Amino acid sequence: MNKIITYVYTWLTTAGYKFGKTKKELAISLIQEEFDELKNAKTINEEIDAIIDLFWVILNYAFFVGISKEKLLEIEDEVKVSNFSKFCLTQTEALATIKAYSTGTHPDKKGICINTYYDKVEYDNTIFYVVKRLEDNKTLKSINYKPVTSL
């Protein structure tokens, strides 16, 4: 991700855009255009093109509203750690997470009861227990989830 952030910011500066000069409307219209291309893609090549273009136009938005490249790079690792903390590291943690969701006591969804299950997944010689919402298979947060705090 580091490379693409640097490339996009360099490209925008080279194209004559000024950092922090709000062009939200332009950026949002470009994001919508590329998102529509992704939704309407008919081939894998069209999907790949739209995905990469989405990276670029989302970073255009950050540039235009004055989010520095340094700030994005600073929090990139924290966001990665936060996202990986959604996964449970033990079956016991997964079962406790499922119980918290089913009883409405999960710290992230207090008072909301959610039917869940877990998948046991091995990646890079590590076992993860991934808790998912039953209705749509969305990955949910472990009871030990670590939110991003440096924003």
Predicted pLDDT of residue 130: 97
Measure the CA–CA gap between 107 and 124, rounded to whole angstroms. 29
Domain spans of the chain, in order of start: 2-82, 85-133
Give the pair of three-digit tokens for residue 39: 């939704």
Element (H, E) at 120: strand 116-123
Burial 35-67, CB ≥16 within 10 A → b, else e: eebbeeeeeeeeeeebeebbebbbbbbbbbeee
Per-residue pLDDT of 15-38, as tens digits, reads: 998 888 878 888 999 999 999 999
Per-residue pLDDT of 106-130, as tens digits, reads: 999 999 999 999 999 999 999 999 9
Per-residue pLDDT of 68-100, as tens digits, reads: 999 998 888 889 999 999 999 999 999 999 999
Classify 21 as helix, strand or coil: coil
Predicted pLDDT of residue 77: 85
Predicted pLDDT of residue 49: 95
Q: φ, ψ for residue 19 (rounded to 5)?
A: -60, 135
